[in-house]
């Protein structure tokens, strides 16, 4: 009886530890999904500078903000976006996204489509996901 109880407790402990580990990975992926959606939504709603200051890697931020300013001056407008694929890799604390944007540049009313590959990493120091890729080339 004692042996059965001891084995049962050991099994229960293993199950609980495994469950806690998957909750942490699940939480990390949930944060990833939220960051990806928030960033792309900001681009959609003309908050390109705010998206950069919030999510772009500080080493890339100056270049990103210059690109954003140039796009704004050119009349760049995102009409819609779709997340085509999203992969969270919690063990590597990284993620990859392929988003597709429908956009136009004034005064043209021709809508163009652009694929935008995004590489994300989780920064332990700030407990947040940051984007390691800048804006794509937009013609």
pTM (two decimals): 0.80
- For residue 108, give Cα distances in angstroms to 21, 27, 75, 105: 51, 43, 9, 6
List the domain boundaries for the chain: 29-131
Tell me the per-residue pLDDT of 90-104, one tens digit each, with 9 for 90 and over.
999 999 999 999 999
Cα 53 from Cα 30, distance rounded (Å): 21
**Tokens representing 16?**
């609980």
DSSP secondary-structure letter at 1?
A: -
Tell me the per-residue pLDDT of 74-93, one tens digit each, with 9 for 90 and over.
999 999 999 999 999 999 99
Tell me the per-residue pLDDT of 14-70, one tens digit each, with 9 for 90 and over.
444 444 444 367 899 999 999 999 999 999 999 999 999 999 999 999 999 999 999
Q: Please check whether residue 107 is in contact with residue 120, taking contact to mean a CB–CB distance below 8 angstroms.
A: no
Q: What is the fold of 29-131?
A: Nuclear Transport Factor 2; Chain: A, (3.10.450)
């Amino acid at each position: 009886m004692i042996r059965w109880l001891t084995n049962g407790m050991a099994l229960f402990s293993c199950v609980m530890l495994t469950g806690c580990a998957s909750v942490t990975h699940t939480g990390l992926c949930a944060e990833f999904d939220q960051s990806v959606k928030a960033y792309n939504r900001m681009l959609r709603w003309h908050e390109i500078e705010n998206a950069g200051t919030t999510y772009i890697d500080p080493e890339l931020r100056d270049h990103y903000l210059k690109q954003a300013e140039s796009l704004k001056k050119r009349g760049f407008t995102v009409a819609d976006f779709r997340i085509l694929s999203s992969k969270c890799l919690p063990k590597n604390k990284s993620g990859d996204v392929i988003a597709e944007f429908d956009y136009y540049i004034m005064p043209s009313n021709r809508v163009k489509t652009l694929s935008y590959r995004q590489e994300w990493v989780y920064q332990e120091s700030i407990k947040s996901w940051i984007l390691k890729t800048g804006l794509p080339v937009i013609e």
